[in-house]
């Protein structure tokens, strides 16, 4: 597993990290045993960067990570998020409420100080007002957190964050079906030494290539109840693309790929071919997926022709289908 430096944190993170939303049972139920297996498999595959949030399963994801890390000789790097808990979102933000929320996360994770605390898609007016960033600076000085970053939905929010002197990393929606950041964000992130963490690398699983129109999702799975954005931002589920359209686009792209190229590997490798990306936090609901995704770090870069094909396909066929803005 290759590693890259995560912006101003200086942390050497695995190119493939683990997204732990699934460990909160938000993609359908994951048993405790399977959750532990997913985490252990990740470490065995060289994954040393984990992404979670206080709200995943109402704290279950953090708790499971905390239990598991107790037994480890060396702790991996764990990033969590703050700002979507009911006590804060949408208008309960204060330094005290943010601090309390982070301290509760630290307790569940079993750490003294959080490696990386990310603002969790806080309302744009809260982000742009800037107070919350000043509180994060204070909380870093106080030792509650070691570094802070932001997870954002829109590229203008991402660009705003890049200008902040202490933001270490940005977590963004980015995949072959959402490519705008390559030109509109990455140069400014690189200039400001802000590490890029990629979420939804497989567009909630669409780009694994395994989904068909009759795919059934558990009623507790966000891909069932949020497929059109009924519960939270539509972009977070299937990348904002209507499910049926997404399946059709995946099939069309598969047909264009050179022989022997698989859409899942191509999707992950395409992201790693962007030098500004530090880590892909691929989500996994079973350990076999972790093994498969980790292997992308060892794949050779895609050819120039394939990069052109993917850029053209995105521009001509995909971009207009994304709902919720970019
Ligand atoms: N606002 C935010 O900050 C925010 C929002 C969303 C996500 N995130 C973070 O980003 C992480 C990644 O995003 P995501 O999980 O939503 O999207 P994703 O990584 O694009 O998709 C994950 C899903 O893809 C499928 N999958 C993964 N690997 C596979 C493989 N090798 N073969 C077949 N299917 C595979 C699984 O679906 P099945 O479960 O159907 O098998 C898995 O649940 C999350 O876990 C979370 O940590 C953050």
Instruction: Measure 244 CA to ligand 1 centroid, in angstroms.
Output: 18
Which phi-psi region, left, alpha or beta, contains residue 52 (left: φ > 0; alpha: ψ -120 to 50)?
beta
Cβ of 208 below 6 Å from ligand 1: yes
Ligand 1 within 6 A of 27 CB? Answer: yes
Task: Check pocket membership of 211 for ligand 1, CB cut-off 6 A.
Answer: no
93 lines ligand 1 (CB under 6 A): no
CA of 91 to the centre of ligand 1 (A): 28
pLDDT tens for 198-235 read 999 999 999 999 999 999 999 999 999 999 999 999 99
Q: 173 CA to middle of ligand 1, Å?
A: 11
Asked if the 3-321 domain carries CATH number 3.90.1150.10, the reply is: no
Pocket test for ligand 1, best of 199, 247, 295 (most atoms within 8 A of CB): 199
Q: Whose CA is nearest to atom 27 of ligand 1?
A: 284
User: Could you tell me if the CB of 152 is within 6 A of ligand 1?
Assistant: no
List, as own/partner pairs, every contact residues 72-78 make where C-beta atoms lie below 8 angstroms and the sequence separation is at least 24, other chains included: 72/43, 75/111, 76/43, 76/47, 76/48, 76/49, 76/50, 77/6, 77/11, 77/13, 77/48, 77/49, 77/50, 77/115, 77/116, 78/50, 78/52, 78/109, 78/111, 78/114, 78/115, 78/116
Residue 24 contacts by C-beta under 8 Å, 6 or more apart in sequence?
A: 52, 53, 55, 56, 57, 58, 60, 61
Q: Say how far apart CA 259 and CA 125 lie, in whole Å.
A: 48
Cβ neighbors of 185 (< 8 A, separation 6 or more) are 155, 158, 159, 162, 170, 172, 196
* Ligand 1 atom 48, closest CA: 199
Residue 199: phi and psi, rounded to 5, are -105, 165
**What's the CA-to-centroid distance between 202 and ligand 1, angstroms?**
7
CA of 310 from ligand 1 middle (Å) equals 21
Q: pLDDT tens for residues 145-190?
A: 999 999 999 999 999 999 999 999 999 999 999 999 999 999 999 9
Residue 96 alpha carbon to ligand 1 centre in Å: 32
Distance CA 175, CA 86 (A): 30
Which of the listed residues 171, 177, 209, 283 should we mutate to test ligand 1's pocket, taking the one with most ligand atoms within 8 A of CB? 283
Question: What are the residue ranges in the chain where pLDDT is below 50?
Answer: none
CA atoms of 107 and 117, how far apart (whole Å):
14
Element (H, E) at 155: helix 155-162
- Res 264: pLDDT: 98
Q: Is the CB of 205 under 6 A from ligand 1?
A: yes
Global pTM exceeds 0.95: yes
CA of 18 to the centre of ligand 1 (A): 9
For residue 78, give Cα distances in angstroms to 118, 164, 191, 212, 250.
11, 22, 25, 34, 32
Q: Is 236 in the pocket of ligand 1 (CB under 6 A)?
A: yes
pLDDT of residue 242: 98
User: With b meaning 16 or more CB within 10 Å and e meaning fewer, what string describes 274-300?
Assistant: eebbbbbbbbbbebebbebbbebbeee
Q: Token digits for 136? A: 């994060």
pLDDT at 71: 87
Which whole-number Å values give the CA distances from 13 to 45, 78, 91, 195, 244, in the listed order?
13, 10, 33, 10, 35
Question: Is the shortest distance between the CB of 105 and ligand 1 below 6 Å?
Answer: no
Which atom of ligand 1 is nearest the CA belonging to 282?
A: 19
């Amino acid at each position: 597993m290759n590693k890259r430096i995560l912006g101003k944190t200086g942390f050497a993170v695995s190119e493939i990290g683990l997204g732990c939303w699934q460990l909160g049972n938000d993609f359908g139920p994951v048993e405790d045993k399977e959750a532990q297996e997913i985490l252990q498999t990740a470490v065995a595959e060289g994954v040393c960067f984990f992404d979670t949030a206080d709200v995943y399963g109402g704290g279950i994801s953090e708790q499971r990570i905390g239990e598991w890390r107790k037994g480890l000789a060396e702790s991996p790097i764990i990033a969590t998020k703050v700002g979507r808990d009911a006590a804060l979102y949408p208008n309960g933000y204060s330094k005290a409420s943010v601090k309390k929320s982070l301290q509760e996360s630290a307790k569940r994770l079993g750490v003294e100080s959080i490696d990386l605390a990310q603002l969790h898609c806080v309302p744009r007016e809260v982000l742009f007002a800037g107070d919350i960033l000043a509180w994060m600076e204070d909380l870093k000085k106080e030792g509650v957190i070691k570094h802070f970053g932001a997870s954002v939905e829109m590229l203008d929010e991402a660009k705003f964050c890049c200008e902040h002197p202490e933001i270490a990393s940005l977590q963004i929606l980015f995949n072959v079906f959402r490519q705008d950041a390559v030109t509109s964000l990455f140069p400014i992130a690189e200039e400001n030494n802000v590490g890029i963490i990629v979420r939804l690398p497989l567009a909630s699983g669409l780009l694994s290539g395994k989904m068909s129109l009759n795919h059934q999702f558990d009623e507790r799975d966000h891909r069932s109840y949020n497929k059109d954005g009924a519960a939270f931002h539509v972009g977070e589920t299937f990348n904002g693309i209507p499910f049926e359209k997404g399946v059709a686009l995946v099939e069309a792209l598969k047909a264009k790929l050179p022989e022997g190229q698989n859409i899942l590997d191509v999707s992950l490798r395409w992201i790693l071919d962007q030098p500004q990306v530090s880590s892909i936090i691929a989500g996994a609901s079973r350990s076999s997926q972790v093994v498969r995704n980790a292997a992308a770090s060892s794949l050779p870069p895609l050819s120039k022709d394939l990069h052109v094909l993917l850029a053209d396909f995105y521009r001509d066929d995909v971009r207009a289908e994304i709902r919720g803005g970019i």
